[in-house]
Structure 1
Amino acid sequence: MNNHTTRQIHIGSVPIGGGAPVVVQSMTNTDTRDVPATLAQIERLAAAGCEIVRVAVPDDTAAKAMPALCAASPLPVVADIHFDARLAVASLEGGAAALRINPGNIGGPAKVDMVVDAAKAHKAPIRIGVNAGSLEKELLHRFHGPTPEALVESAMSHVALLEKRGFEAIKISLKSSSVPDTLAAYRLLASRCPYPLHTGITEAGTLLRGAVKSAVGIGILLSEGLGDTIRVSLTHDPVREVEVAWQILRSLGLRQRGPEIISCPTCGRTEIDLIGLAQAVEERLAHVSQTFTVAVMGCVVNGPGEAREADVGIAGGRGKGILFRKGQVVGSVTGGQQELLNALMQEIEAFLQER
């Protein structure tokens, strides 16, 4: 992987860029004005491994909820603002650790001054978020559509507004639902400025489609050294966004969190509900943060050999199963699906205690 190094900023206590580990973030889909519901979702996101959370601040009522929300949040909170500079300032005064705005549409030079002054006072970075679906009309006309060049030109014009005011605690996102356009845009942007990059594929879709598009787009960028923080956008529970993000990082060897679960794809020799067993194991281990490897195999003959590198594993057959560690059989199980699951979980617990 390339070592494309950007400047470092901090959102709360979380460093972004400058060689820091890639940060996982997400956005709540609750009504920000409902503080208990929003906090409950933030706590679930934190438990899943989210490190920064963004909330929408669409009106004064939402801005007034920020003090209580930020004070109780286990994660740094980024306020997502569109068009209204007052909401940006109120959010910072309420404890927001950063802003997501487009300086060009916040209301003119005086409004940009107001937001930048508040951000400086609160030591809060600003994320410039450029989206292919909301580019300036002039750029759409000049570049004949929401091209990668148009996305970068929009971002750089917003950056200039902040740099002109001596503000450089900036990170940038360029989002498109097109993976090729997103890749081209970030590559171009990286050659033009040193600011940390927030990467993702916008409007990626439902769980399966969105996970695939995000893994391809974000994965390629990260493999090229581009990306300091990532957000997987899914039409689904935001917790699943965090889970997919960690799988992307794990697959590239960039960061590890929680167990790696490997399982065979099933075949005509499979005599148990391997799909159900693997899913049950995944659910039971969803909030375990220790890193180790678990194998769930459907063949008692070949299972231990095929998963010999797994720390702990189980291979099931009709009414029976064997437990193994690093390919060596350490026990047997008699019974059905639930007995296999229980035995594996007990073996995992013993393994973690020993380690």
Structure 2
Amino acid sequence: MERRMTKEIRIGNRKIGGGNPILIQSMCNTKTEDAAATVAQILRLEQAGCDIIRVAVPTMEAAESLKAIKRQIHIPLVADIHFDYRLAIAAMECGADKIRINPGNIGSAERVQAVVDKAKEYGVPIRVGVNSGSLEKPLIEKYGGVTAEGIVESALEKVAMIEQMGYDNLVISIKSSDVLMCVKAHELISKKTDYPLHVGITESGTLTSGNIKSAVGLGIILHEGIGDTIRVSLTGDPVEEIKSAKLILKTLGLRKGGVEVVSCPTCGRTKIDLIGLANQVENMVTEFDQLDVKVAVMGCVVNGPGEAREADLGIAGGCGEGLLICKGEVIRKLPEDQLLSALHAELAALAKEQGKL
């Protein structure tokens, strides 16, 4: 896949577009007014691999809280604004590295101009965000409902408005909970603008449904070379969004690094708690995000070594015992309760050998 070249935009200490790596975003679900709780969550997200974080700014107290938050985190901070233009101005004055607005719900042209002027003064990029749920009535009537064409027209109208106000430090986000509508919208807009695109399936759902919808939608869009930043929107702990986003990028070959865990489905030969073991391994390997290796977790010693041949390391369970495998070769046999620690030791040794620990 060949990525479409977009304009380079700086967000805090990071760059997007212009061929830079695709960055992973998430959004806090804490109350931004509670700086301590918000910082704690952002630090967890940083540890998981989040590149850019967004927080809601629904009150002036939340805007003021950005000062304390910004001092304690290490990734760019984006302020999410709806309706009140004064909150957008305050957020930038309090240190936001980017703001997300829908000019359509900010109000009059004068209010949008005030936001643009402040963004220009501080050099803060504006993310123009349009969701299918906020599409204007005239466009719904024009296209006979909520459509990809309507979403794109709405976004480009708002971009043109800001350009006419003398500002082009912009990022565009067009989202829908309808996966195929979202894909079509991104295909359309990518041919009409060179601004960086933030890609995601909005309101995608819980951990299971949200991951499936996001993987399908983002997979198609990214495979077509579209997208400069992504978010996997999930109803749950935002750390899960980072795990999923990293795996989507790694699966498509758009990001290297991190331990990929593969595991076999359970069957009648399985004599260990394979589901529990695979989950433990998946959690444990996040400690070794700097490695670029594949780890296999297999449920039986009959086919385990062969199935794990393509992996760098693997474990295969038996009846109360299991095998530790390296490149398809059995290293040693161990009691079942020692498999996880043995695998951890091998990963640690590999990281030390590569100077990454």
Using structure 2 for the length normalisation, give the TM-score. 0.96
Cα offset for 1:309? 2.1
Alignment of 1:27-106 (within 5 A): 27-106=27-106
> Counterpart of 2:239?
239
Q: Which residue of 2 aligns with 1:312?
A: 313
Q: What root-mean-square deviation, in Å, do the aligned CA atoms of Structure 1 and Structure 2 show? A: 1.2
Could you say which residue in structure 2 is the equivalent of 1:328? Answer: 329
Task: Quote the sequence identity (%).
Answer: 55
- 8 Å Cα contact 2:288-2:351 kept in structure 1: no
C-alpha distance in 2 between matches for 1:13 and 1:287? 25
Question: 1:109: which partner in 2?
Answer: 109
CA contact (8 A) 2:288 2:347 kept: no
Unaligned runs of 5+ in 2: none
1:302 and 2:308 matched:
no
Q: Does 1:19 align with 2:19?
A: yes
Q: Distance in 2 between matches of 1:122 and 1:168?
A: 14
Question: Residue 212 of structure 2: SS of its match in structure 1?
Answer: helix
- In the aligned structure 2, how far is the partner of 1:5 from the partner of 1:250? 20
Structure 1 stretch 320-329 or stretch 16-25: which is displaced more? 320-329
Which residue of structure 1 aligns with residue 122 of structure 2? 122
Q: What is the DSSP-based 3-state SS (H/G/I as helix, E as strand, rest coil) of the residue aligned with 1:286?
A: helix
Shift of 1:245: 0.5
Q: Distance in 2 between matches of 1:254 and 1:299?
A: 33
Alignment of 1:181-330 (within 5 A): 181-290=181-290, 291-330=292-331
Secondary structure, in 3 states, of the residue corresponding to 2:204?
coil
DSSP 3-state at the match of 2:288: coil
After the TM superposition, which of the residue ranges 225-234 and 160-169 deviates more from structure 2? Answer: 160-169
**Are 2:308 and 2:325, in contact at CA under 8 Å, matched by a contact in 1?**
no
Give 1:340's aligned residue.
339
- Matched positions, count: 353
In 2, Cα distance between the equivalents of 1:77 and 1:352?
31
Contact 2:233 2:241 in 1 (8 A): yes
Aligned amino acid, residue 342 of structure 1: S
Give the drift of 1:273: 1.0
Task: Give SS of 1:341's match.
Answer: helix
Distance 1:19 1:181 in 2: 26
SS where residue 79 of structure 2 aligns? strand
Structure 1 CA distance for aligned equivalents of residues 81 and 317 of structure 2: 52
Give 2:350's aligned amino acid.
F
CA shift, 1:158, in A, is 0.4
- Measured in 1, the distance between the counterparts of 2:51 and 2:348 equals 27
Deviations 1:53-107 (A, max 9, x none): 0000001111111111122222110000011111111100100000000123212
Residue 297 of structure 1 aligns to which amino acid in structure 2? M
SS for the counterpart of 2:192 is: coil
User: Secondary structure of the equivalent of 1:86?
Assistant: helix
Question: d(CA) in 2 for partners of 1:216 and 1:63?
Answer: 35
- Helix, strand or coil at the partner of 2:24: strand
Deviation at 1:342, TM superposition (A): 1.8
Say which is worse superposed, 157-166 or 207-216, in terms of deviation. 157-166
Bigger mean CA deviation after superposition, 66-75 or 23-32: 66-75
Q: Structure 2: how far apart are the matches of 1:351 and 1:288?
A: 10
Once residues 137 and 231 of structure 1 are traced to their aligned partners in structure 2, the CA distance between those partners, rounded to angstroms, is: 27
Check the 8 A contact 1:48/1:239 in 2, yes or no: yes
Instruction: Tell me whether 1:155 sits opposite 2:166 in the alignment.
Output: no
Offset of residue 41 of structure 1 = 0.5
Asked if the contact 1:233–1:241 (Cα under 8 Å) also holds between the matched residues in 2, the reply is yes
